[in-house]
Amino acid sequence: MKIKEVIVVEGRDDTARVHQAVEADTIETNGSAIDEDVLLRIEHAYEKRGVIVFTDPDYPGERIRHIVTSRVPGCKHAFLPKDRARAKRDKGVGIEHASLEDIRQALSEVYELTDSHEITIEKEDLIYYGLIGGPKANERRKKLGALLHIGETNGKQLLKRLNMFQITINQLEEAMEQIVQEENNEK
């Protein structure tokens, strides 16, 4: 699988793992210590080929994602669920721990942020589907984030992310039907 865009990752271990999974160029941020030179390279890559931000599913990874998208709006985003990015022996979480297939899948299902302020999903929709304010809300958000490939979020972030990635109410409804069906099958 060859990727046209340049993939922004956190470090050299991520680069090595991505290169095992796909044919692509990467830019490493060196963790959350992103300097001006790295941001300039990301801007240049975005102008020439486009950029996919693919950071670890943890707080530092989300911080890096925010820094990059604040500086270079219009980047595409790939997300890997935490349970697919865990090391077997330690508590580490990161792209470098993911299977090659999970990396390929995440990179084949990228999202592009939109500047549109059109809101298609409301807070009431999240309450209705038990994604906020209920006993299963956290677990449902995790499942939804994995199913829609938008990463794990809290309730407030979920609403923003669903609308930023232009997830429709129909897509949300279909995903929630699948989640509820899985919950019923577990009983």
How many structural domains compose the chain? 2
Model pTM above 0.75: no
Mean pLDDT computed over 28-45: 93
Residue 129 forms part of a structural domain = yes
93 and 49 share a domain?
Answer: yes
> Contacts by 57-62 with C-beta closer than 8 Å and gap 24+?
57/81, 57/82, 57/85, 57/93, 57/151, 57/152, 58/82, 58/93, 58/94, 60/10, 60/31, 60/32, 61/10, 61/94, 62/151
Q: What pLDDT score was predicted for residue 10?
A: 95
Residue 102 forms part of a structural domain = yes
Task: Give the pLDDT band (50/70/90) at residue 89.
Answer: low
**Average pLDDT for the chain:** 90
Q: What is the pLDDT of residues 50-86, one digit of tens each?
A: 999 999 998 899 899 999 988 998 899 999 888 888 8
Residue 51 forms part of a structural domain = yes
Q: What is the pLDDT of residues 126-147, one digit of tens each?
A: 999 999 988 899 999 999 998 9
Q: What pLDDT score was predicted for residue 101?
A: 95
56 and 98 share a domain?
Answer: yes
Residue 1 forms part of a structural domain = no
Residue where one domain finishes, among candidates 47, 78, 112: 112
168 and 93 share a domain?
Answer: no
Domain of residue 23, residue span:
6-112
93 and 164 share a domain?
Answer: no
Residue where one domain finishes, among candidates 92, 112, 132: 112
Q: What pLDDT score was predicted for residue 85?
A: 86
- Residue 117 pLDDT greater than 90, yes or no: no
- Residue 118 pLDDT greater than 60, yes or no: no
Helix (H) or strand (E) holding 109: none
